[in-house]
Structures are given as structure tokens and as C-alpha cells.
Structure 1
Amino acid sequence: MKAFISLLAALPLTSFLLHPAAPAPKYAVADIPAALREGAHAVLRADDEVITVKSAGRLVHTVHRVVTVLDAAGDDQGRQMVSYDALRTLSYLRGAVYDADGRLLHQLRPAEIHDQGMGDAGGSFMTDVRVRYADLRQPQTPYTVEFEYEIVSDNTLFYPDWQPQEVEGGAVQSATLRVLTPAALPLRYQERQLPAGSKVVHTSTSGQETYLWQLANLPAVEEEEDAPPLSYTTPAVVLAPGTFEVQGHKGSAATWQGLGQWSYALNAGRDQLPPATVAKVQALVKDAPDARTKAQRIYEMLQGSTRYISVQLGLGGWQTFPASSVATNGYGDCKALSNYTTALLAAAGVPAYVALVGAGADQPDLRADFPSSQFNHAIVCVPLAQAGRPDTLWLECTSQTEAFGYMGSFTGNRHALLVTPDGGKLVATPRYGAAENRLTRRVDLTLDATGGVTATARTLRTGQEQDGYAQLMHQMGPVEQKKYVTDRLKLPTFTLTKFNLAAAPAKAAPGIVETLGLSLPGFAAPSGKRVFINPNLLSRLPALPAQVGERHTPVWLTDACLHADTVRLHLPAGFRPETLPAPVQLSTPYGVYSSQYQNLPDGSVQYIRRLELKRGQLPASAYSGYIDFRRKISAADKVQVVLLKTES
């Protein structure tokens, strides 16, 4: 026995300790079907989401997501960001990363999860929104990341949406969405772009409703030119409550009327102004001849006495500051400033309503056939009547520089929800077409005998054509403005000799006048006795790339505009036009284009170009015609005038 014990003592301790077995490989890249890797930057291996509705005021959302990153263009998928706030609790965030063969490289540690407030980056924010962020990107591809998290939400105004294929170059191997809800709280949903044959599996057990959607083997998608956003082209299921509750405030989202009714009740009684403010308003408008003039004076008062801050504090994301608070402090978010403006207008005897809208130049219009909270902004609607006809006025209350009554690309050309005592009413914001969105340019080009050109250009932009330039004028100094314009002039060697931006007199739509002076040495160097020069210095429209393969998505032309250019080419002594380009006239469903040249009595050459682009949504089959239209315009825009040097 002693000999046996001595033998045991002589053996190393490791002989008796079991090494933990390495985890079995999983998610090997080789297991991805070849068809899913083709054209993909990343493949969603699994997206398993479960939404459990606990009550009218609470739901739980759990997510398990596995993504294989195939190349550097898919690297963003190696990160996970989850936001939370006072009404949404993040229970956990876990993660791991695997190599190409599916071997575990690293398990995410709590210390590697960053937590940051949304207001930490600066700006005018009052918010309780925070973000937890994990980064498992690897220096070499391919690799696979796995993330899991759970959100417990006490804000059931919003149900999570499900769209597994949400990025360009992303393929989907497997994705499921399961929703569990009490029978007393029936689920509202809308299926969009699901593959043929896909349908929900709906079961009922003991007062519980279960809905299950599954997707598999979706090849990567590429965003096509002038196409709808991916949210309109890839499979999705959009969810919304019938009834909901936020911090004790119950409501219905089953109809637009009900949703507006909840918002109205939530903010009722918050439109009371201090007596001094009421007196100030009444003095301001006492001699105003009509409601529009009253509204304009009040809007100018608002712009001169308030500033915008973003408020996202619990219920404060939907419930406004009282109007008295804005009057006292001089600031508020979009809801507060809009509520304050309606209170000021009421004090002047002008009825007005807050309207909820999905704002953003790239924000598509809301889905009118699916009542739900699709809004991120508030504006004011003032119903007026002029000569017995409706003359609705709209006000953007967060800007200190926006033109009175102008919505522009931020909130124009879409629907909004009018919040009235009778509930919500879906209405259209102003439509801006070619009549409002104009660019009118006059250019004088003076050519010298050596081929140098000096140019002066005056450009009037109105409507949506001036939106970017209005921000440039109000938010940047002269040096930044000049750099912005210089960087965007697609010209050979040049010097900007003059530059100015100024507001144009107000008409149907606001306008900005840009004045440029340019020096272009050697722009049209002589070739023997001839000079070749293109008078279209600033308005060339590029052709579009040819369609490779079959077009899959509709053609969305989102902006309507009218561009009109007049160019005078002044010739040096001893030169005359040898040939002038033939006129071009194009008329298509996409737009209308014309260009023409003529000799003027003073010896100069005049070039007139006119382009009207139409707004519309066309079938995929129309894209070839649109490419041809753009190709012909590009060719016409590049045509040169041939000048001949006469014998002395």
C-alpha cells in the first residue's frame, strides 16, 4: 500500500486534473452554401428573435444573431450596438468570435463592453438614452461573430420590426421571428416583400397567441441606382400594437385617429402661456390685416427668441414641455416648440395644430395603410382660407433661419399626422415640384486669344434646390463656404476670383443667389486655326453606369426640378464660330431636355439649356429607358463649339 502511495506521489499532479475540452467548432465558413457567398460581404448565419408581449405596457425582446464577415466591406457586422433608456432595460449583452473553421477565438468580456450616453458626443441634448457597444472585428477575414441580448421595454408604443436583410451585400442563411402575445392583446402586423410561399404560422394555446416567420437562403442584394431603399425591397415583418400603455397612459394604435387621440390627450393642458406673453402677442398682431400676417409675425418672434434642444427623457420623448416653460426658458425640442407656437397663434386668434411627421431628406414617406408610430419630428399646421379656398400654412419651429411657411426636403412631399381634439388625421405636407425647385443660371464666358477663359456666373436656386445652400449660408463662415463650393466645381485648373451667397427676395419658395467669378487659364487652347470649347461649364449631368444583368427593383425618381441655363460666349478679335452644335430635344416619362446654340448680332455665341426632371415611381423595366435618357443628356452636355481663327 505504501509503495502504491509512493508511486502516486511520484506522478505529476496534471495526470489527475482533467483539461476542459475545447468547444466543438461551429459556424465554419465552409458550411455556408456557395450561392450565399457569391457577391456577399457578410452572411447572416442565424437571426433568431423572440418578442414576448407581457402586458399592454411591457414586452421582452431577445435576439440571437450570428454573422460571418467575408471581407473588409462587411466589417461593420462585427460590431453590435444596443440602445436603452428609462423605459427600455438591457438585461444582458453577450458575444463571441470564431475563426474561419469555426473555432472559438474569443469570448466577449464585460470589461470590453462600452457604455455611453447619447448626449456624450456633445450637442443640444437632454436624453436618458444610452448605448452599449461591443466590437469583435478581426484583422483578418473571414471570421464569425455571435451576439445575444435582451431588452425589456415598458414602452409598447413601439414594437420591434424584423428585417434580417437590412444591408447591401448581406446574405441570409437562416432567420426566424417568433411573437408571443396574450389573446386579449392581438398582434397587428404587415408582411412586406416576403418570398413566394412564405407565410406566418399562427397557433393558439391557453389564451396565448404565437406567430412564427422563417426565412432561409436569401442571396446577397446590391442596391441599384435610383432604387427604393432596402427597407422597401427586402423581406420584412412590421409589428404594431392594437392597444398600448406608456407610464400609465393608455392608447390605441389600431387607427390613425386613435394614435392621434393618445398624443392629444398626453399633451392636453400644456398650452397655457404666461399673461405677459399673451399680451406681447396681442400687441404684436393688433394691426395685422389677416391670419397669415399674424402667423408670420409670430413665427419671426419665435425664431428670434427660442432655440432648439433635443429632449428624450422617458415619457418626454412624446410629452411636451409646457408652453409656459418655453416662454420662460427660451428653449425646447420639436414638440415643445411646436406646442408653444400653436399656443402663441391661439393667443392671436389663429387656430393651429401640431403635426407628427417622419422627417429627413432621405426618409421615405410613411406607410399610410399601417397605422403605427412612424414619426420622429413635430411641426405645426395652420389651416387658413383665402378667397374661400383652403390655404394651409406649415411651420418648422426648430429652425432660427428657415423661411416662413417652407418645409423643403426635410418634411415636405410626405404625409403627417395632424393631432386634433377629434384624434389623428393623416394629411399631406406641401408638395414641391419643378415649379418650386428651380435652378436658373446666367454665365458669361470671355475667351482670350491664348485659350484662357474668365467667367462670371449668377445662379438662383429656389425650393429644394436651395436647401443645402441655405444651410451652407447660415451654418458656415465665408472660408468654409468658399472651400465647399471650390471642392465641388468639376473643372480643370481654375481660380475662384469671386464668391458670394445671398438670400433672394421671397417668392413662392425661398431662394439663394450664388455669384461666382472664375479664371481658367488654358481652358480652350487653340489647335492650329481652331479652338474647341464647351460652353456648359457648370451644369453637366453625368451618365449613369450601365445596368449589369437584370434590373430587380423599381425606378424611384424622388426629386422634381427645373434647371435653366443661359451662357454667353464672348469671342476674342479674329475668331468666329465655324460650326455650332445641332439643337437637341428630348421628351420622356423621366423628364424633358433641350439645348440650342445661336450666333448673336454682337458676335457672341449663346447657349441655352433646359432640363426638367420628373418625380415618379416606375417599374424596373423602365430603367433602360432612363439610362438612355441620361446618356443622351450627358452627350449633349459635352458637345463643343468649334471656333475658327480668321486670317488677319
Structure 2
Amino acid sequence: MKVKVLFFLLVSINLFSQDNWNILLIPKELKEKANSVVRYQNIDVEIVSQKNYKLKTKKVITVLNEYGLRNIDAREFFSNSEKINTIEAIIYDAFGKEIKKIKRKDFIDQSVADGYSILSDNRVLYLDYTPTQYPFTIVYESEKQSINTAFLPSWYVIDDYFESIQKSEFTIKFPEDIGFKYKEHNFSQYDILKQEKANSLHYSIENLSALKPEDYSPAFENIVPNVIFGLEKFSLEGVVGVGNTWEEFGKVYYDELINSNTEISPETIQTITTLTQGIKDPIEKAKIIYKYVQSKTRYVSIQLGIGGWKPMLAKDVDRLGYGDCKALSNYTRVLLDNVGVTSYYTVIYGDTNRKDLDKDFVSYQGNHVILTIPSEKKNYFLECTSQTNPFAFGGDFTDNRFALMIKPEGGFIVKTNEFTPLDSYQKTIGKYSIDKDGNLKASAQIKSGGIQYDRRAYLSRVNNEKELHKTYKNRWNWISNLNIQNIDIKENRETIELVENFSFSAENYCNKAGNSVYFTLNVFNKNENIPDKYRNRKNDFEIVRGYYDSDEIEITLPNDFEIEFLPEQIDLTTEFGTYSMSIEKKANNLLYYKRDLTIYSGDFPKDSYEAYRKFREQIAKNDNLKLVLIKK
């Protein structure tokens, strides 16, 4: 009995001693619905001066399963402007026993543009650890310093869904005379402790259970609490500047980072002058230059703020034929300038999940660069990293968001073009027939524009017929025994439209019951997406992009069958969109099926979510309507 008591005391002491990472110490509610648990995180930012800041990070995270591996974040980027002073990690097993120590030499050192020597100064040091068992805990620590005080670390309380927080702290210290500022987002529903002093700011939070994603939730950064920081007096790539307004901020950017980077070879100038000779319209000139850049260069992926802020030299892009978003946008700007077309380097958040620059908070933001060509009617936004995009088409990567346009006189907030539902159309005109044995033969033409074009344009570049057929079979996965006879895809880069012509057949498309056969009316474009149902939804919801579908289909029925009944016309009108469906009898064996669906973009309160879900449920129900035929 004494031995058992002694053993219990030893275990108890061990469990509750300092820096013990036994998983038994994690509260049960923090492990529920979690892939990982941040046991402790401490981020310490010290702004030493206008030209220097230091960053110390300690993160202790218990990874409960393989899905939690993505949340370790044991990596640091570095360059001539950013130095890593120390970096290390220790791995513990489920009971807090040390498994492995990982020193700096054990981290993988890799160029962020591996294989492209001109950009090799920008590198990443990261941990590549393959666990032998779950759960395990990693204690990761690093210290860095940077001369780029224009871009300060943000604090995100939560990094990802399915991650709990046991304790997290963030401290930032700053001198009095450099115009320190900050902005908090999404704090209202969280118990965050804030301590503000004359020259420091401290946040902490404890025992935050994992968040679970919900259908149609707003972007993650618009849900979770976060703080962004900035300085009015900053340093960027060794250049000091003052930015109280976007105009001042952009002036520094232009003068110090891009204005002097305009040299290209005389041979290239001669080539583009010849290509645009006799053309007066600046937009037509720009189209020629854009096509020239697409044919001459290739994209090297380096995110803004990781691969440095200053574009590589335009003459190097010209000579080597590659660059990142900064380099290719600046190179295109220089080419356009040489043929008399004005364009502006523009900083933006590039992502299919739409994200704005915070236009009310002057600071270095964004992760991508595009080019803006102003005209009397509208702004043209060029995605210079793409070798396939039509002119001035960025698709869902840069649509409908605030960006910073850099002009010689300074920076100006602009908004990129929005795709309305009618812009993002899919129009189907087709026909199909059902024979007496219930087999299907169909053909149609589908025209797509806007975002719907953007998501399908790649099909015109698929050269493997087997892969192409597989894609279409997945698209029409409700048709069993699908046999594709012909597919012809054309991309019109002038009108920015994709045209698909196809024909297919399917044996035994109809179901049989005695003397009756029945089949789904909507062959080409069923929309079966029904959002998940929530008993207690947490978040408001967002429809990021609207669209419009139109279907006009002629249906030929077998002569020896008659229609049991025709479904009535359906018309649905809601704040989220509209839906209509009608079937008209043209002759004894000929029907005309018409369907229109419009979905509106917008932000909606969570109380409206169930109404939206029911709207989608009705759409799915009507798209699955079946027609019953009875043998004469």
C-alpha cells in the first residue's frame, strides 16, 4: 500500500511540475473536436528603433493526429534584411518524456525560389519532422531580427480550425517617437486580457476550445480575433520613411523601391516598339505587351513580404525570363512605359478567398502585386504572373477587393472589378432523347463567362483525352453508364468566354417499373448543393460570389409512351437569389425544358442561414424532378 501511495505522489509531482507536457494536463474540453492544442504560446516583439525590431517566439503544441501537423508552424523566413539568431525544437511523447532535440543544423535550409539563383538570398528554415506516434508535443523556439519595421508581425489568437488554445500571450514594445499604432478585430465575443502601458501592449487568452468550420462562414480572419500593428515612421529594405496617409506611404514605396528599376535592353525596346507600331489606342498596345510578357516569361512563386519587398531588376527579368509577382508586374510596367502606356504597380491580397487591404489602417499589407492601367471608362487590372489569363482578367484571385495603387505622387486605394451574377454566367442550349428502352442520347453547347469561365478555362488546355473524359464524368456523376462521344472546347480570350460542345449517351438512363419508365429531367446541370444544417450556428454567413445559370433543353420522348403528368412551373424569389423551372409540351413526344438560377453575393446574419439552406434545398429538389412515362 505504501508503494502505491509513493508511486501516486511521484506521478502527481511529475504531472504538475513546471514545463510538464503530459497530455493528461490538457483539459478534456480542449481535446474535443481538436486536431492540435496550443499548450502555451508566447510571441514577444520589441521595436528597438525605426530601423530594427526583434521577434522572439515560443510555441508549445500537442499534435493529436496527423491533421494537426499543419499547425506546428516551425519555420522562419530570412534574407539580407531578416536574420535568424536562434531556432530549435524539442519533441516529447504523450507523457511528456523527451524524444528528440532538434538544433538549427537539423532544420532544412531552402531557397524560397529554389533553383533560381538570382533570388537565392531569400530563404526559409523549416522543420520536417515525421512522427512515429500520436499524440506528441513539440516545443519550438526562435529569435529573429529585421530591418523592415514597415511590416510588423500580427497577432492571430487562433491559427486554424480544430485547434484549441490553452494559453497564448503576445507582447509588443515600442519607442515613444515612431508613431506606433494598432487595430483590433473580432474581439467582442472573446475573453482577451489586454494590458496597455506607455511603451508596451500585452494580450493574453486562456482555455479557448477549438472552432469548427461552418458552411458559408466569412473568411477566417474575419471571424477570429486578431490585431495588426504599424508605425508612422518605418524602415523598408534599409530606407526610412514616414507614412501617416496612404499617399505618403505610397510615395516612399514608389521613390525607394520601384522608380529606379526601369532599365531594359535596347533590343527589347526595339522589339516592343515594332510590335506596337502604328497602334494609337493605349489599351490595344497594352494587350500586345501583355501577350509578349506571357510568351517571354514564367512565374516563380514568392509571396510578398517573404521574398523581400523590392522587385528584382527589370533588366534581369528581361534577360532571364522569370520572376515573382513583384518582378513581373514591374517588368510589364516598364515595357508599357516604353510604348507610351501609363500603368501603376499595385499591392493586393491575392487569394480565391477574397480579402481586402484595411483601407482605414495605413501600413504595409498585401501578399501579391498586380498592375493597374487607368482609362476614362474603367481601370484595367493585369495579372502579370499568368501565362494563360486573358488580358485584364484576374478571376477570383484578385476580384472585388481594395488594393494599394502606387503612383509617382503617392499611394491610392482602389477597388478591383467585381463580377456580377450576370457576368459569371453559364448558358446551356441542348437537346436529348429517350428511346423505348430507356437509353439516353444528348448533345449541348455550354457558354461560360466571368468566374464560371475562370473555373473551367483550364479544360481548353487539357490535351489528355482520358483525363478530359474523366473530368466530365465527374461533372455529370449522376448519369450512370455515361459514354462521351465528342468534346470540343474553345476559349475566346477576347470575349473571355469558354464554349463547350459535346455529345454523349447513357444506356439504361431511365428506371423501369411495370409499364412505366421514369427519369430525371435535368440532364446537364443539376445543382444538388445543400448547405449543412446547424442546431446552433455560431457565425454569420457570406455568399462570396454570385452567378447565373440558364438552361434551354429540347427533349424528345419515345413514340409509344405518353406523359403521366407534367410538373407545374416553379418560381422561387428570395433575398439570396431566384430560381425558375418550366416544362412546355410542344408536340406529343417533344418537350421544352427551361431553367434559370441566379445566386446573389452578400453578407447575411446567421438568423437567415436556415432560410438560405431551405432555398438551396428547394433548388436541389426541383433539379431532381422526375418525369414519368406510361406505355401506350
Q: Which amino acid aligns with 2:159?
A: E
- Distance, in Å, in 1 between the alignment partners of 2:65 and 2:420 is 42
| Superposition deviation, residue 182 in structure 1 | 1.5
Q: Does 1:96 align with 2:70?
A: no
**Secondary structure at 2:177 match in 1:** coil
Pick the aligned partner of 1:226 from 210, 216, 224: 216
Give the corresponding residue for 2:281.
290
Amino acid at match of 1:345: L
In structure 2, the CA distance between the partners of 1:425 and 1:478, relative to structure 1 (3 Å rule), is: farther
TM-score, with normalisation over the residues of structure 1? Answer: 0.88
How much has 1:192 moved relative to structure 2?
1.4
Q: Does 1:579 align with 2:557?
A: no
Deviations 1:606-639 (A, max 9, x none): 2111111111011111111111111111111111
Please say if 1:466 is aligned against 2:460: no
Tell me the equivalent position of 2:436. 449
Cα deviation, 1:278-334, whole Å, max 9, x if unaligned, reads: 454444444335333333333333334444345689997332344444445544433
- Change over 3 Å in CA distance of 1:105–1:283 after alignment to 2: closer
Following TM superposition, by how much is the alpha carbon of 1:354 offset from its aligned partner in structure 2, in angstroms? 1.8
CA displacement 1:561-592 (0-9 Å, x = unmatched): 10111222211221222211122111111111
Output the CA distance in 2 between the equivalents of 1:242 and 1:92: 29
Partner of 2:543: 557
Question: 1:536 Cα deviation (Å)?
Answer: 1.1
Matched, 1:171 2:158: no
SS at match of 2:155: coil
CA spacing shift, 1:277–1:365, aligned 2, 3 Å:
same
Provide TM-score, normalisation by structure 2. 0.90
1:66 aligns with 2:53: no
2:432–2:554 Cα contact (<8 Å) kept: yes
Q: Aligned-pair distance for 1:160?
A: 1.1
The one-letter code sitting in structure 1 at the alignment partner of 2:395 is: G
Q: Give 1:370's match in structure 2, choosing from 361, 375, 400.
A: 361
How many residue pairs match? The answer is: 615
In the aligned structure 1, how far is the partner of 2:416 from the partner of 2:462? 26
Match of 1:144 among 112, 137, 145: 137
Is 1:251 aligned to residue 251 of structure 2? no
SS at match of 1:531: strand
Contact 1:102-1:144 at 8 Å conserved across structures: yes
- SS of residue paired to 1:465: helix
- Map 1:163-562 onto structure 2 (within 5 A): 163-194=156-187, 195=189, 198=192, 200-204=194-198, 209-265=199-255, 266-275=257-266, 277-310=268-301, 317-385=308-376, 390-474=377-461, 477-491=464-478, 492-504=480-492, 506-507=494-495, 510-562=496-548
Report the Cα distance in structure 1 between the residues aligned to 2:35 and 2:327, rounded to whole angstroms: 44
Amino acid at match of 1:180: K
Structure 2 unaligned regions, length at least 5: 1-12
Structure-to-structure mapping, 1:19-98, within 5 angstroms: 26-77=20-71, 80-98=74-92
Q: 1:521: Cα distance to partner?
A: 0.9
SS in 2 for 1:579: coil
Identify the range of structure 1 (134-143 vs 307-316) with the bigger mean alpha-carbon deviation: 307-316
**Greater CA deviation, 257-266 or 80-89?**
80-89
Q: Secondary structure at the match of 1:74?
A: helix
Change (3 A) 1:347 1:88: closer
Separation in 2, partners of 1:639, 1:124: 60
Q: Is the 8 A contact 1:263 1:318 kept in 2?
A: no
Contact map agreement 1:128 1:312 (CA 8 A) in 2: no
Separation of aligned partners in 2, 1:240 and 1:103: 41
CA 1:128–1:472: 2 relative to 1, 3 Å: farther
- CA contact 2:77–2:306 (8 Å) conserved in 1: no
| Distance of aligned partners of 1:272 and 1:67 in 2 relative to their CA distance in 1, 3 Å threshold | closer
Does residue 158 of the first structure (1) align with residue 151 of the second (2)?
yes
1:134 aligned partner: 127
Q: Rg bigger for which structure?
A: 1
Give the Cα separation in 2 of the matches to 1:155 and 1:337: 23
Secondary structure of 1:600's partner?
Answer: strand
Counterpart of 1:397 in 2: which secondary structure? coil
Contact 1:202 1:210 in 2 (8 A): yes
Letter matched to residue 359 of structure 1: G
Report if aligned partners of 1:125, 1:310 keep a CA contact under 8 Å in 2: no
1:91 and 1:152 in contact (8 A); partners too:
yes
- Distance (Å, rounded) in 1 between the aligned partners of 2:336 and 2:247: 24
Structure 1 unaligned spans of 5+ = 1-20
* Cα offset, 1:109, TM superposition: 5.1
On the 8 A contact 2:71/2:159 being kept in 1, the answer is: no
Please report the RMSD computed on the Cα atoms of aligned residues, expressed in angstroms: 2.8
Deviation at 1:505, TM superposition (A): 6.9
Name which of 584, 590, 606 aligns with 1:620.
Answer: 606
Describe the shift of the 1:127–1:467 C-alpha distance in structure 2 as closer, same or farther (beyond 3 A): farther
Cα distance in structure 2, aligned partners of 1:383 and 1:521: 55
Task: Give the whole-Å Cα distance in 2 for the aligned partners of 1:187 and 1:250.
Answer: 15
Mapped partners of 1:524, 1:164: distance in 2: 54
Deviations 1:387-429 (A, max 9, x none): xxx3322222232322122221121211221111111000011
Percent identical pairs in the alignment equals 28
Cα offset, 1:439, TM superposition: 0.5
Q: Which moved more, 1:103-112 or 1:91-100?
A: 103-112
Query: Relative to structure 1, is the Cα distance of residues 127 and 312 closer, same or farther in structure 2, using a 3 angstrom cutoff?
Result: farther
Deviations for 1:198-217, whole angstroms, at most 9, x for unmatched residues?
4531223xxxx111111112
Deviates more, 1:487-496 or 1:258-267: 487-496
Which amino acid is the alignment partner of residue 489 of structure 1?
W
Structure 1 segments (4+ residues) deviating >6 Å: 122-125, 311-316
Equivalent residues of 1:126, 1:313 under 8 A apart? no
